[in-house]
């Protein structure tokens, strides 16, 4: 049980989203929300407050009668529940709900306490609103996507429950749930914010960190099986460069390879007299995809750390408009709903994940090209050359998927299109950025799955199961449990998907 007090970290999202932890709201949160609601209700009686007694966006110039205030909130929710495309997967929606619940719990939004109560019940009962991928421009927050969340909270729209898509009204009736009490600005407060892009972004970050772990292990294993010299991973070399990420990756790879019998010491082979040698048969240095892993994956981990910091800052921020400040007894109008922080971080994340997939594809190519590695058959073919094809077919998949990632990595952050009668004249496209990043991460898992299968095949051909490090042996055993030894040609896609699913759902 996670006690909810208005401050969340990445690990809290992991517990709720991946482990199914329940949440309970701290009593102080209820008091904070009630105080905020009561203050705003009193404060707005004789003052013009955007979204309480005015229209929205360019129509804020129109004053709303007291008798029409509640209808105004319903009108906003229903009119903006206009998403299209594919439904966002429930896992990502649940993360968005958690992010929205957190920001509303800060007491800067003036919502009725029933919003907090119902959102908590929906999260705990694993009821996720139907929210579509297309619709948000990420400037006045995720207006369209969050409208679909608000629609469910007023008892309308559709939800996913127990794996089925159902009418909200039906599920509420079955579970005896009551819609929120729309009193003041519940519609606007639910919709104005960055919670969908942030929720998706946090799941992206969690998956990226797991992906990076597997990529680091794969990189260590390929260095090992080709008997690379180990000084490019040395403490001394990597400590001579000041980037924390590079040092971390090198350290992780050294730890992975500490009991390997295959990696070589340069001083044992090249730091001695070689007077009678004119051409060295073995490589003096490895190709960059093997030798420069700390320098390539270092920026990935550094970027990922920063992405997580920005996302958690956003989760624990008031991303609403206007902002209610009970302590100062004032309401401030501004643009905290703007999603540029998240949009930029998602673009950064997808760029480094694409680079990771490019590294994986190049390592795969090194294993498959016998002219490069000089130790494995073409395409790591364990059957009859010419008659059988080994890993030839899946290389096409890895190559095309990597190419897609390269195209998808063009930034969304700079693709602003004015809309809303030019009221929203510069926007973030944050949810688009987060969703494209989600696709890039999924693609990278596919490329890496193909590389891992190939590494296992290479170990099989070289018969070095008893010489690889214990960590590589563990990885070998895990993949081998899913994938047989390919000597004859078999249908490959089920195995690629099995390994992809395995590494998505398990840490290295």
The catalytic residues are 50
> Rounded CA gap, 197 and 426, in Å?
17
**All residues at 6 or more sequence positions from 360 whose CB lies less than 8 Å from its CB, including other chains:** 215, 218, 398, 402, 444, 447, 448, 451
> Rounded CA gap, 359 and 14, in Å?
27
Distance of CA 420 to the CA centre of its chain: 29
For 148, 294, 417, the CA distances from 129, given in Å and listed in that order, are: 7, 42, 28
The rounded radius of gyration (Å) of the Cα atoms in the chain is 27
State the alpha helices, DSSP H only, in 226-292.
Answer: 235-239, 244-256, 266-269, 288-291
> Rounded CA gap, 280 and 197, in Å?
54
E strand map for 182-315:
none
> Rounded CA gap, 182 and 191, in Å?
13
> Rounded CA gap, 271 and 343, in Å?
50
CA atoms within 13 Å, Cβ hemisphere of 421: 5
Q: Compute how many other C-beta atoms are within 10 angstroms of the C-beta atom of residue 310.
A: 18
Q: Which of 152, 53, 137 has the alpha carbon at shortest distance from 97? A: 152
Residue 273 DSSP label? -
> Rounded CA gap, 182 and 151, in Å?
12
DSSP annotation string for 480-508 = HTTS---SS----HHHHHHHHHHHHHS--
The two structure tokens encoding residue 56: 């929205």
Beta bridge partners of 324: 331
Whose tokens are 């009119």? That residue is 79
> Rounded CA gap, 436 and 411, in Å?
10
Q: Which of 235, 230, 292 has the alpha carbon at shortest distance from 260? A: 230
What's the residue count for the chain?
508
> Rounded CA gap, 454 and 435, in Å?
30
Q: Which of 50, 176, 157 has the alpha carbon at shortest distance from 93? A: 157
> Rounded CA gap, 373 and 468, in Å?
18
> Rounded CA gap, 363 and 225, in Å?
12
């Amino acid at each position: 049980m996670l006690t909810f007090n208005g401050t969340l970290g990445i690990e809290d999202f992991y517990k709720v989203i991946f482990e199914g932890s329940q949440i309970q709201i701290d009593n102080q949160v209820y008091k904070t929300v009630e105080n905020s609601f009561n203050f705003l209700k009193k404060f707005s009686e004789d003052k013009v407050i955007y979204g309480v007694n005015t229209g929205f966006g360019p129509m804020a110039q129109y004053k709303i009668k007291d008798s029409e205030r509640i209808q105004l909130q319903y009108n906003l929710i229903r009119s903006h529940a206009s998403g299209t495309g594919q439904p966002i997967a429930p896992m990502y929606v649940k993360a968005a709900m958690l992010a929205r619940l957190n920001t509303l719990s800060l007491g800067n939004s003036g919502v009725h306490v029933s919003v907090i109560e119902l959102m908590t019940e929906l999260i705990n009962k694993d009821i996720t609103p139907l929210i579509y991928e297309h619709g948000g421009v990420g400037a006045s927050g995720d207006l369209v996507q969050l409208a679909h969340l608000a629609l469910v909270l007023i008892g309308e729209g559709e939800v996913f429950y127990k794996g089925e898509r159902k009418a909200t009204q039906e599920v509420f009736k079955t579970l005896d749930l009551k819609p929120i009490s729309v009193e003041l600005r519940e519609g606007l407060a639910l919709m104005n914010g960055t919670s969908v892009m942030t929720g998706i972004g946090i799941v992206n970050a969690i998956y990226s960190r797991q992906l990076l772990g597997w990529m680091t292990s794969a990189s260590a294993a390929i260095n090992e099986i080709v008997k690379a010299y180990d000084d490019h991973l040395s403490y001394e070399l990597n400590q001579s460069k000041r980037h924390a990420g590079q040092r971390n990756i090198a350290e992780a790879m050294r730890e992975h390879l500490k009991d390997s019998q295959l990696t070589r010491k340069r001083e044992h082979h090249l730091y001695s007299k070689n007077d009678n040698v004119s051409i060295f048969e073995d490589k003096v240095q490895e190709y960059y995809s093997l030798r420069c892993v700390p320098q390539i994956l270092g920026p990935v981990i550094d970027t990922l750390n920063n992405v997580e910091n920005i996302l958690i800052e956003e989760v624990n921020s008031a991303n609403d408009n206007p902002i209610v400040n009970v302590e100062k007894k004032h309401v401030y109008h501004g643009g905290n709903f703007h999603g540029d922080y998240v949009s930029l971080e998602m673009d950064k994340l997808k760029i480094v994940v694409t680079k990771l997939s490019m590294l994986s594809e190049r390592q795969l190519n090194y294993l498959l090209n016998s002219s490069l590695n000089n130790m494995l058959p073409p395409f790591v073919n364990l059957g009859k050359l010419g008659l059988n094809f080994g890993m030839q077919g899946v290389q096409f998949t890895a190559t095309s998927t990597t190419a897609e990632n390269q195209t998808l990595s063009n930034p969304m952050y700079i693709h602003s299109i004015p809309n809303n009668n030019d009221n929203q004249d510069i926007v973030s496209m944050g949810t688009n950025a987060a969703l494209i990043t989600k696709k890039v991460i999924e693609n990278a898992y596919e490329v890496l799955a193909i590389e891992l299968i190939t590494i296992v095949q290479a170990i099989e051909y070289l018969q070095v199961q008893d010489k690889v490090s214990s960590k590589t042996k563990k990885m070998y055993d895990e993949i081998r449990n899913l994938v047989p030894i390919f000597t004859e040609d078999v249908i490959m896609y089920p195995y690629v998907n099995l390994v992809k699913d395995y590494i998505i759902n398990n840490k290295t």
